[in-house]
Amino acid sequence: MNFCSTASSTIAAESGSIVSLRKKRREGEVDPFYDMLFNILIAFVFCFIIALLAMNPKAKKEGDIPAKAEFIITVTWPDMNPNDLDTYVQDPNGGMTWFRQREAGLMHLDRDDRGIAGDSIRVNGREVINPLNQEVVTIRGFAPGEYTVNVQYYDSKNEEPVEANVSVVKVNPKAEISYYGTIKLERKGDEKTAVRFTVDSEGIVSNINTLPKQLAPQS
């Protein structure tokens, strides 16, 4: 009798413990709604990380040529001037970049400006005009030797002379103006050498001069 009573008490105690444990586990379970919110949050964070990776520049593959510029050559003439000037840059190997050959060796014509032509667009029925007249050539490496920068008065809308400012900026390791000057082109067809300069294998600029040298093809 005592044995049965003791066994019954033990079973009842263990049953109570199991019920209590199950109750605690059930109370500790996460509500399905909050679980869903947590999963949505994880998905959002994952998508955000993917977007950030997509916006970052792609890793440089073996053999790729760095896109950074070592020199920037800029030719500007007065805002809203309707006339078309063209820039010609020749590298030490004889390669030349101009509006019909935008890439040559390590050089690239980033912007070809035709004066007033193509400087206006319509936005919501309203004409928007870009007044800036500027051509830009970048040199993306150090090819040792002499570079020549010429400017030609390609087309005229008002038959007036045009003054152009020409700059050569060495970008790395810090921005440094290697040359800045002004040339005057009297009439359509005129071509002048704005600057000639020599670059060594370390990117050091020397022998800056304006000795004339024709670059534009003759028609």
Diameter over CA atoms, the chain: 128
Which CATH class name applies to 71-209?
A: mainly beta
Determine if the peptide bond prior to 78 is cis (ω within 30°): no
For residues 167-204, one letter each, b for 16 or more C-beta atoms within 10 angstroms of the residue's C-beta and e for the rest, the string is: bbbbbeeeeeebbeeebebeeeebbbbbbbbebeeebe
Domain positions in the chain are: 2-55, 71-209
Per-residue pLDDT of the chain (219 residues; tens, 9 = 90+): 444 444 445 444 444 544 454 444 444 444 555 556 556 666 665 566 656 555 554 444 443 444 578 999 999 999 888 899 999 999 999 999 999 999 999 999 998 776 555 555 556 677 555 668 899 999 998 899 999 999 999 999 999 999 999 999 999 888 999 999 999 999 999 999 999 999 998 899 999 999 999 999 986
Say if CB 180 and CB 73 are below 8 A apart: no
In this prediction the pTM is 0.65
